[in-house]
């Protein structure tokens, strides 16, 4: 959900050429699987376009070099990411909600069943991140 919410918000601001956004998993459980149907429904309700052919892939060590940021949805993902990439020597790794000034995890709909709450968490954090990016680029 985060990939498509962030892409949509970037597009709304006309910033598509300034960002490359791609999601990846820190575990192998969902590799190759498409977007979970309730997540698709939630994105559709909010008018967020998504690639119906998108499938999960696993984070690689190369991602650390290839991306400016690696944003984790929760502290569990953060621990698993560190096992893959090692030490964050370049300060690229963060928790999503930290952009909104919160020391919280994004609500995991796999456990809560509340995809709307997850959407709202991600939307809030992405909006804050984009605002901070705009202020930084001035």
Segment 117-137, tens digit of pLDDT: 999 999 999 999 999 888 776
pTM of full prediction above 0.75: yes
Report the distance separating Cα 113 and Cα 111, nearest Å: 6
Segment 90-112, tens digit of pLDDT: 999 999 999 999 999 999 998 99
Q: Crossing angle of helices 2-12/115-137, nearest 10°?
A: 40
Specify burial of residue 94 (Cβ count, 10 A radius: 0-12, 13-18, 19+): middle
Alpha-carbon separation of residue 111 from 33, 92, 130 (angstroms): 18, 27, 28
Q: Which of 137, 133, 135 is nearest to 9 (CA)?
A: 133
Segment 33-80, tens digit of pLDDT: 788 999 999 999 999 999 888 888 999 999 999 999 999 999 999 999
Q: Which of 82, 71, 87 is nearest to 24 (CA)?
A: 71
């Amino acid at each position: 959900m985060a990939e498509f919410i962030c892409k949509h918000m970037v597009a709304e601001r006309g910033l598509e050429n300034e960002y490359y956004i791609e999601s990846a998993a820190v575990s192998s459980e969902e590799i190759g699987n498409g977007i979970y149907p309730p997540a698709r429904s939630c994105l559709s309700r909010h008018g967020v376009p998504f690639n119906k052919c998108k499938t999960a892939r696993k984070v690689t060590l190369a991602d650390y070099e290839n991306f400016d940021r690696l944003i984790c949805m929760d502290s569990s993902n953060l621990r698993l990411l560190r096992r893959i990439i090692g030490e964050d020597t370049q300060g690229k790794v963060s928790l999503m909600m930290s952009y909104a000034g919160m020391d919280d995890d994004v609500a995991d709909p796999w456990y809560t069943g509340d995809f709307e709450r997850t959407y709202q968490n991600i939307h809030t954090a992405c909006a804050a991140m984009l605002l901070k990016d705009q202020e930084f680029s001035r």
